[in-house]
Amino acid sequence: MTYEKELQLIKSTLPRLFAETEKEQAKISYKKMSEVVTSSDLFIESELIRVIKDAFPSDFFHSEEFNQYTELKNRTWIIDPIDGTSNYAHALDLFVNQVAFYDEGNIVLSVVYYPRVQKIFYAVKGEGAFMNGEKISVADSTSKNNLMSLVGISHQTEKNKDMFYQMIRFGYLNNIKIRMLGTLGYEMTAVASGSFSMLYTDVKNLWDIAPGMLLVREAGGYVVNQDGDDYQFGDEHLFCFCDKALIEKAFLFMASLEG
């Protein structure tokens, strides 16, 4: 099944909605645990849902602001209106607008938009990953200059954060430079396009991870859990790797810590 109509709708709508919300200064408020939300988040999500409903009135939604507790069904849109809201609210231009589409038991479409540089990344299951029409692919870990992204170490939760410190140690010992940008959508896209060789997070929200998962896999990368198996929604730990050689090296390192 192709999803050309769905893809073109999102590719055309996200830039327009972001441009519209930029006409007014974003108003900042807070959710639980001092989590930032802006008027731009609310506007983009509500308007995007309206546009999708006009085109596909029977579809379902799972989204950060208005549909947090819905279950995935065939033809469910997963929406993060601004991923990296804290960056956006502080005028740090590292944030994205992102959407994934779930159908027939899989994520089959994803679109991630970098508003400040007008880059649109997108993928359809089985058709590869692209940026502004050009095919993208993951990095090669044999490079002497690899980067690793870590997302979620500063989140105030009851989760055990030991894996982050293991990955910091792994990076140090293997000359892999570490970056923490504060936007999982941006960073997973950076894995898909070859900037980062690997990524680790304990974030589980579908709107944060679903778009990037498809992009990484369609760009030739791997998305796995703490056991090295293909990541499934709900797993505690998510890793993205550019190739199997780096997977083996990282998991051998973690196994050595347990011995």
In contact, 225 and 235? CB cutoff 8 Å: yes
CA-CA-CA-CA dihedral for 122, 123, 124, 128, to nearest 10: 140
212: left (phi over 0), alpha (psi -120 to 50) or beta: alpha
- Supply the pLDDT for residue 152: 87
- Supply the pLDDT for residue 178: 96
In contact, 197 and 242? CB cutoff 8 Å: yes
Q: Which residue has the tokens 């639980």?
A: 32
Contacts of 135 (CB under 8 A, 6+ apart): 128, 129
182: left (phi over 0), alpha (psi -120 to 50) or beta: left
Q: Facing residues of 8 across strands?
A: none
Residue 253 burial by CB count (10 A; 0-12/13-18/19+): exposed, middle or buried? middle
CATH 3.30.540.10 fits 4-135, yes or no: yes
Domain regions of the chain by residue span:
4-135, 146-258
- Supply the pLDDT for residue 144: 81
- Supply the pLDDT for residue 233: 96
Three-state DSSP state, 131: strand
If the chain, 259 residues long, is cut into consecutive pieces of 10 residues, what is the mean pLDDT of each piece?
93 96 73 70 95 98 95 97 93 96 97 97 97 97 91 77 94 95 97 98 96 98 97 96 96 88
Q: Say how far apart CA 243 and CA 224 lie, in whole Å.
A: 11
- Supply the pLDDT for residue 114: 98
- Supply the pLDDT for residue 259: 60
CATH class of 146-258: alpha beta
